[in-house]
Amino acid sequence: MEHHFLGFLYLCSMFISYSAAYEEAVNRQNDRRNLFAERGCCKRQSNFVYIGQDISGSPVSVDVGLCRSHCGVPQRINNYNPIFPGLSKHSSMLDILKNKKLRERISEPSPSSASEPSCPQESTCQPTKIGIERVLLFQGFHEVEVIEDCQCSLTPEECIRMPFLKTYFPDTPFESTVDVGKCSSPKSSTGLLCSPTKFDTVVIESPNGAEIVNTVENCEMKEKCYRVSYLEYYYEVVYSSNGIKEERLMEIDVGRCLGGCSSGSHCLLRDSRNRDHCMVWAEGSGNGCVPQDYETHTFRSKNGHVRSVFAIKNCKCQI
């Protein structure tokens, strides 16, 4: 009888130990899943794009990168851009056409249940580090933004200025990282966009002397074509009631037009994941957002001449 009782106690202890071990294993697996889902799967994927021809006439392709949120899905290199019919990293036009035809036959793979989880619902897979690569093309130098790293980032519901790091002259003695800033992309049913309204500048050293980098300081909800403040200062000569000549400093907000319009856009290369983000602009290009109304400020300058300065009142998209 005592032998059976000891056997029963042994079985109970084994069952309790097994249950504790199983529960610990389940908890460990759940913790791993929660941690992995919170971290998400956001990695840089190669993305070769054609940007033009070099001074020898050869095609030039650059791996600008791509932030992809489903890392378990087989990666595809996007080496075609509808803006450039010859978009490829291949050396001959025959290779370009063959590769384009092959891509048209391959359908985009859908994320499978076995793939690694994407970013959380309130986050998006975004670049965390951008390198500015300067490429000498036949038309001159062009700056291309190259994605170097990605991570899951929260998407703010309000329009705010967010950090955005860019590295200039990477892998050189003049390497410099600047927080140029960017505007968030909140969802809006009004048609307004979160756009930069205030700017600043940073001076960096380059192989050819100092260069100025423009940075975003403030963002607001605006139309796609909008006016921002732009101050200019002038000395104005005035005469008092006693006929005494005086000089005073006058501030004029001449304004300037910003934004993107479908017509008149000179963007040569857009981000495949964010069509509002232009990666390469044509030399000396405008964006089709032009002044609509203006006002005139007339004053007498220091040399006694009457001078007129025009100030933009509002902007519109050029038709």
Q: For 171-181, what is each residue's pLDDT tens digit?
A: 899 999 999 99
The pLDDT value recorded for residue 4 is 55
Q: Is 22:30 a contact under the CB 8 Å cutoff?
A: no
Residue 315: strand pairing partners: 291
**Residue range 213-220: average pLDDT?**
94
* Tens digit of each residue's pLDDT (9 = 90 or more) over 234-245: 999 998 888 888
pLDDT value of residue 195: 92
β-bridge pairing 140-154 and 59-63:
unpaired
Using a pLDDT cut of 90, give the percent of the chain over it: 37
Model confidence at 188: pLDDT above 90? no
Q: Return phi, psi of residue 110, to 5°.
A: -95, 145
Which of 122-126, 181-185, 238-242 has the highest mean predicted lDDT (pLDDT)?
A: 181-185
Query: Is it the case that residue 283 has pLDDT exceeding 80?
Result: no
Which of 314, 191, 199, 319 lies closest to 257 in space, CA to CA? 314
* This prediction's pTM: 0.61
So what's the pLDDT on residue 35? 41
Give me the CATH topology for the region 156-222: Cystine Knot Cytokines, subunit B (2.10.90)
Q: What is the pLDDT averaged over residues 18-24?
A: 52
For residue 18, is pLDDT > 80? no
More confident position, 21 or 13: 13
Tell me the two tokens of residue 248: 């005073």
Give the pLDDT score at 204.
95
pLDDT category of residue 105 using cuts at 50, 70 and 90: very low
More confident residue, 237 or 102: 237
**What does R_g of the chain's alpha carbons equal in angstroms?**
29
pLDDT at 106 over 90: no
pLDDT at 185: 87
Residue 45 above 70 pLDDT? Answer: yes
Cα–Cα separations (whole angstroms), residue 182 to 20, 195, 213, 217? 51, 9, 14, 8
Task: Report how far Cα 171 is from the mean position of its chain's Cα atoms.
Answer: 22
CA distance 132 to 142: 10
Lowest-pLDDT range, 74-88, 107-121, 212-226?
74-88
Q: Are β-strands 165-168 and 123-137 bridged in parallel, bridged antiparallel, or unpaired?
A: parallel
Q: How far is CA 257 from the centre of its chain?
A: 20
Q: What is the pLDDT of residue 122?
A: 78
In this predicted structure, the answer to whether residue 103 has a pLDDT above a threshold of 60 is: no
pLDDT at residue 81, as a whole number: 47
Amino acid identity for residue 142 in this structure? H
| Closest C-alpha among 126, 135, 150, 149 to residue 62 | 135
Domain with CATH 2.10.90 in the chain: 156-222
Residue whose pair of structure tokens reads 């384009």 in the numeric block: 100
Rounded distance, CA 165 to CA 131, Å?
9
Percent over 70 (pLDDT), the chain: 64
Mean pLDDT of the chain: 76
The 10s digit of each residue's pLDDT in 128-158 is 889 999 888 988 888 899 999 898 888 888 9
- Using the Cα atoms of residue 7, residue 13, residue 16 and residue 19 in order, give the sign of their dihedral: negative
